[in-house]
């Protein structure tokens, strides 16, 4: 997938997508390097199978290259990648379920999506930070998998509400409701105000 070529690192996602459609494999490589870690983290929360997630990511980018002349224009490449990747991953899980006795759920949307606080803040001491991380981790367990997925996309991937809706394939107004319920649950469990809870998510995810 990766080979030496011109430096495309300063190009926007949209510019890279346009160049990919014009036969520029280095543009595809740059998109791959830009999003491989985020896609892997997202996929592993759905499948908890690193080999499966890696294979699906590779297949997705091979498919992009092979079908580059038929790719449509997209407004947000990142949201498009996450949506396309999730669809392909769920299809592969479904295929494996049919062929094996892995005990996977009958409902393709029935995944746990574990989410743990990770990013450390330099503005609070270590003991306070650990305490807040532990409280947030416990509160996140009380959310539904779909709520955790929305939180991940909004606060870790920094997608807009509309982009989160695109990835999760639901209406934007439904995302607002989903996020509102998630924040309220976190707020109640952590005994924090709405603003403090939102800032904590931004700091630790």
Question: Which CATH number do you get for residue 26?
Answer: 1.10.1740.10
**Please, are residues 54 and 141 in contact by the beta-carbon 8 Å criterion?**
no
- Do 132 and 72 fall into the same domain? no
Can you give the residue range of the structural domain that contains 166?
126-204
- Do 17 and 95 fall into the same domain? yes
Q: pTM of the predicted model, to two decimals?
A: 0.80
Average pLDDT over residues 133-138: 82
**Please, are residues 62 and 48 in contact by the beta-carbon 8 Å criterion?**
no
Six-digit token string for 135 = 């409280």
Q: Which residue has the higher pLDDT, 31 or 195?
A: 31
Asked whether residue 42 is domain-assigned, the answer is yes
Model confidence at 108, pLDDT cuts 50, 70, 90, reads: very low
pLDDT value, residue 138:
86
Which residue in 111, 82, 80, 79 sits closest to 94, CA to CA? 111
Least confident of 18-22, 72-76, 94-98, 118-122: 118-122
Asked whether residue 117 is domain-assigned, the answer is no
pLDDT value, residue 192:
74
Asked whether residue 107 is domain-assigned, the answer is no
pLDDT value, residue 117:
67
Asked whether residue 112 is domain-assigned, the answer is no
Q: How many domains does the chain have?
A: 2
Question: What is the Cα–Cα distance from 88 to 93, expressed in whole angstroms?
Answer: 9
**Please, are residues 89 and 49 in contact by the beta-carbon 8 Å criterion?**
no
Average pLDDT over residues 119-137: 64
Which residue in 157, 6, 189 sits closest to 77, CA to CA? 157
Gyration radius of the chain over CA positions: 19
Of 59, 82, 99, which one is at a domain's C-terminal end? 99
Asked whether residue 7 is domain-assigned, the answer is no
pLDDT value, residue 130:
72
Q: What does the pLDDT look like over 30-80, one tens digit per residue? A: 999 999 999 999 999 999 899 999 999 999 999 999 999 999 999 999 999
Question: Which CATH number do you get for residue 175?
Answer: 1.10.10.10
- Do 132 and 81 fall into the same domain? no
pLDDT value, residue 133:
77
pLDDT value, residue 121:
47
Average pLDDT over residues 87-97: 90
- Do 82 and 147 fall into the same domain? no
């Amino acid at each position: 997938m990766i080979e030496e070529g011109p430096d495309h690192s300063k190009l926007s996602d949209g510019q890279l997508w346009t160049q990919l459609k014009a036969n520029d494999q280095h543009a595809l490589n740059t998109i791959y390097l830009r999003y491989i870690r985020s896609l892997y983290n997202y996929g592993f929360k759905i499948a908890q199978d690193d080999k499966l997630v890696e294979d699906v990511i590779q297949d997705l980018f091979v498919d992009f290259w092979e079908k580059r002349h038929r790719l449509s224009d997209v407004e947000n490449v990142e949201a498009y990648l996450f949506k396309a990747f999730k669809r392909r991953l769920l299809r592969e899980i479904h295929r494996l379920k049919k062929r094996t006795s892995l005990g996977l759920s009958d409902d393709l949307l029935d995944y746990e999506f574990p989410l743990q606080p990770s990013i450390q803040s330099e503005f609070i001491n270590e003991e306070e930070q650990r305490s807040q991380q532990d409280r947030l981790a416990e509160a996140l367990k009380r959310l539904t998998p779909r709520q955790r997925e929305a939180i991940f996309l909004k606060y870790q991937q920094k997608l807009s509400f509309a982009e989160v809706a695109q990835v999760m394939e639901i209406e934007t107004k439904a995302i607002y409701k989903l996020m509102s319920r998630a924040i309220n649950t976190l707020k109640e469990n952590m005994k924090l105000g709405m603003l403090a809870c939102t800032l904590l998510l931004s700091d630790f995810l």
